[in-house]
Structure 1
Amino acid sequence: MSISAGTYTRDELQRIIKAYDVRGVVGEDITVPFVRDLGEAYGELLRHEGETNLSIGYDMRPSSPELAQAFAEGAAARGLNVDIIGLASTDELYYAAGSRNSAGAMFTASHNPAKYNGIKLCRAGATPVGQESGLREIINYLVEGLDDLDVEPGNITSSDILSDYAQHLRELVDLQNIRPLVVAVDAANGMAGLTVPEVFRGLPIELKPLYFELDGTFPNHEANPLDPKNLVDLQKFTPEVGADIGLAFDGDADRCFVVDEKGQPVSPSAITGLVAKRYLATNPGAKIIHNLITSRAVPEIISENGGTAIRTRVGHSFIKATMAETGATFGGEHSAHYYFADFYNADSGIIAALHVLAALGEGTQQLSQLMAEYTRYAASGEINSTVADQCAATQAVLDAFADRIAEVDELDGVTVSLKGTPAWFNLRASNTEPLLRLNVEAPTKTEVDHLVEEILGIIRN
């Protein structure tokens, strides 16, 4: 029986089907019947577009296999042939969608706590699906219902593409001739525990694993490396085991955070600068994308190496769309998402890590020495404040800084450049919560701390 009109309301769906993906609490928002219906709605969308194939992957959360099967049944009911690739990282699912030219669905809630699950959708070739590119139509199908379809149901099969995916990544970044490296990796009980050993296979790398057991209850710490408390174990572990570098992944392994041989965090902006320089060495004059909260060192490095820096809003859908529109070679975000034209314009934490390992292994410097070139300013990181009226709070900050403002940019929130200094700050309202997000950069940590204190004092009072 297909979806009946009135089964779902638009309000309840918009709480679960967000701007870029589907996400909610398992058993409350995310249930097997709902996911089956969602699969049928996505199958109908794809069928109208002439698509016939769908690849499905899932992470290590306890609910993921059952939900993936339900989604597959829904999509197959609309005539799609579905292949379930099983346990996978999100970028492995993108590899499936890109290499097979099939649509994709990845069951993961990324770095969210264990009670959550969700779905990241893409079209053939790993093209992302967001509110403006399919999710709104899916909501319409669920609200308005679907008629029974007189078509032969599609087949549901399963396959294992892990070794093919790993081989593809090794072909993208050549590490065969680097010096031997000791690499500490905190998989946070997420999918990197499965993918990293396969990707590193045969390379001159001695892997020092931390929390590689797949466990979607996250018994050791949350799988969110951007939160400093979740880096503490890797920061201690890396120098303890004599590693040259430490890598921390989120739950679905599409983000990677780096610490140096001393256990000190390396800014994702610095990683963006390093990878950009590597691409510009082999692609002279290439376009490189960075979002507006990356360090100003990033466009400086791109320009110094003959590239064209393109600035975008925060968010993977903006980065991917801009890459497709401009033909950019690489893109980086300060959230440790990195995007690659030679990987279907999709993001991959492990590809970024491979580039850092290649740069480190091609020379004799320690990572802390290597990264000094790319770390030019101090930054606050993103600081959230709960604010009932984000617009009023933002305006209060602008008023207080009126005589110090050199320029205000409204590409995404407000980015304020200050007179007589390279210092700047950005204030952005959350689309889904009553939060105002602050990022500050300045030449020194002292300057950053003073600006943060002043701005938060205005916002929170």
Structure 2
Amino acid sequence: MSEYLECFKAYDIRGRVPDQLDEDLAYRIGRAYATALEPADVAVGHDIRLTSPQISDALARGLQDGGVNVHDIGLCGTEEVYFATFHYRLDGGIMVTASHNPRDYNGMKLVRAEARPISGDSGLDEIERLAAGEPQPPVERRGTRQDLDHRDAYVEHLLGYLADEALMPLRIVVNAGNGGAGVVIDALEPHLPFRFERLHHDPDGTFPNGVPNPLLEENRAVTAERVRASGADFGVAWDGDFDRCFFFDEQGRFIEGYYIVGLLAEAFLRKHGGERIVHDPRLTWNTIDLCREFGGVAIESKTGHAFIKERMRREDALYGGEMSAHHYFRGFSYCDSGMIPWLLVAELIGRTGKPLSQLVDERIDRFPASGEINRRLADPATVIAAIERDYGVDAVRVDHTDGVSIELSDWRFNLRMSNTEPVVRLNVESRGDRTLMEEKTAELLGRLDAFPAAE
């Protein structure tokens, strides 16, 4: 077997089944994890993909043959593996999932104790090296495997973020995309005053309604239409392993993740003023403004879950958010959750008495933003350097936390390159001037389009 395994990425494992990831490799990964981390007890769970139970079983056998006691939580979301790992004080956790990738893919997300992420520079490279090497013999004492019934404790934890007196009897459209979120909604329902309008609710690894990925515009219409038809207060859609959630207001309008970060910062700071809030550098002014208004401290971090989680731990931040719909919580061991955000938004609607559209429009009016726009370019680094030379001259502030952020008095932008493909990503915002934001977005796109495109 090659020393390089194509399914190993910078932060997780993802590949086509069976040519890039199969049961044999899953076993090897389990055995390698056991050798590299030497854990005693590890949580294992899997998503709804048809290949996930077999991949999960092979992974568990590898862990057991490495002397690890496997605590099997079965069909679940990624955050439930995180929860089981930190709540039961286990030594690690592995989730078998390919999230929103095509149906013939599968993969794994790995954490160590306290649900700390394992990425290329924190153990994943070593696991890859061991998995690609010669098979290791079983250890003398084989580990056990037992089911772990975690869900009641997990639901109790989720409910702990809410103040009961602020909750209203809202009608909420919930679109699980035939992933795993529906099971948790059903478990939460008896404890909440909400009426749920269910869409694509039952777990189904054949994906009869398409692979759950609400970031794709063509996947949003069904949720938006149900919100409007049912007169719901808002809608939520999840990806397959529901570590991300996406919002629709009562008019069926899709809400950009940037403004959800601000709403969640507000929701926390209304209850816990003076706390630190971590955000990514792509779009920032709205989050910074809300932190000032509600007595918080905004802290910028490089984009990406490993960077956000590390910075949150260092700062003891209460909440961290990325405009890509990843939201992280100190009370959740600094991990991301796709369930906590919508609960907090529902609470904020009840607390303020304002519909979601009003909460969002107030912020859009103050800080209109372009949303992320991608361009495939032959030499992204050269492009970013050229743009910085041209716009940095008049800048109030130039920052290199992630790509380049250039701030002028009444507008700003961030331009960064993808880690995996020849793509640059542009985000533009202004202070209360939509026309200026749109003009500067068009201007920058014109500059980008003048550079050679990637083949």
1:402 to 1:55, Cα distance in 2 relative to 1, 3 A: closer
Q: How does 1:49-448 map to 2 (within 5 A)?
A: 51-102=39-90, 103-145=92-134, 147-175=136-164, 178-375=167-364, 376-401=366-391, 404-418=394-408, 420-421=409-410, 423-442=411-430, 443-448=432-437
Q: Structure 1 residues 406 and 68, CA, compared in 2 at 3 Å: closer, same or farther?
A: same
Report deviation, 1:115.
1.9
- Relative to the length of structure 1, the TM-score reads 0.92
Pair 126,46 (structure 1): closer, same or farther in 2 beyond 3 Å = same
Work out whether 1:8 is the aligned partner of 2:2. yes
Normalising by structure 2, we get a TM-score of 0.93
**Secondary structure of the corresponding residue to residue 62 of structure 1:** coil
State the one-letter code of the partner of 1:38.
I
Tell me, in whole angstroms, the C-alpha distance in 1 between the residues paired with 2:333 and 2:327.
12
* CA–CA distance in structure 1, aligned partners of residues 134 and 442 of structure 2: 52
Deviation at 1:143, TM superposition (A): 4.1
For the residue of structure 2 that corresponds to 1:454, the secondary structure is: helix
- Larger mean CA deviation between 234-243 and 133-142 belongs to 133-142
- Report the Cα offset of residue 202 of structure 1: 2.5
Q: Distance in 1 between matches of 2:433 and 2:215?
A: 21
Q: Is 2:14 aligned against 1:20?
A: no
Q: 1:305 to 1:44 in 2, by over 3 A?
A: same
Provide the aligned C-alpha RMSD in A: 1.9
1:293 and 1:221 mapped to 2: Cα distance? Answer: 30
SS in 1 for 2:191: coil
Question: Which residue identity lines up with residue 84 of structure 1 in the other structure?
Answer: D
Equivalent pair of 2:163/2:347 in contact (CA under 8 Å) = yes
**How many residues end up aligned between the 2 structures?**
447
Distance 1:65 1:112 in 2: 17
TM-superposition CA deviations, 1:272-317 (whole Å, max 9, x none): 2222223223333111111111341101111222211110011011
Partner of 1:3: none
Residue 444 of structure 1: CA displacement? 3.9
The more displaced of 436-445 and 345-354 is 436-445
Distance 1:230 1:59 in 2: 20
Corresponding letter in the other structure for 2:370: S
1:360-415 per-position Cα deviation (integer Å, ceiling 9, x unaligned): 12343222223344432222222222222111222333344355544321111111
Which residue matches 1:43? 34
Query: Structure 1, unaligned stretches of length 5 or more?
Result: 1-6
- Name the CA distance, whole Å, in 1 between partners of 2:216 and 2:285: 22
- 1:357/1:30 CA distance change after superposition, 3 Å: same
The 10-residue stretch of structure 1 (134-143 or 183-192) with the greater mean CA deviation from structure 2:
134-143
* CA pair 69-385 structure 1, distance change in 2 beyond 3 A: same
Q: How far has the Cα of 1:446 moved from its partner? A: 3.3
Who is 2:453 aligned against? none
User: More displaced, 95-104 or 143-152?
Assistant: 143-152
Cα offset for 1:162? 2.3
Q: What is the CA distance between 1:167 and its match in structure 2?
A: 2.0
CA distance in 1, matches of 2:296, 2:116: 25
The code of the aligned residue for 2:64 comes to A
CA distance in 2, matches of 1:384, 1:434: 10
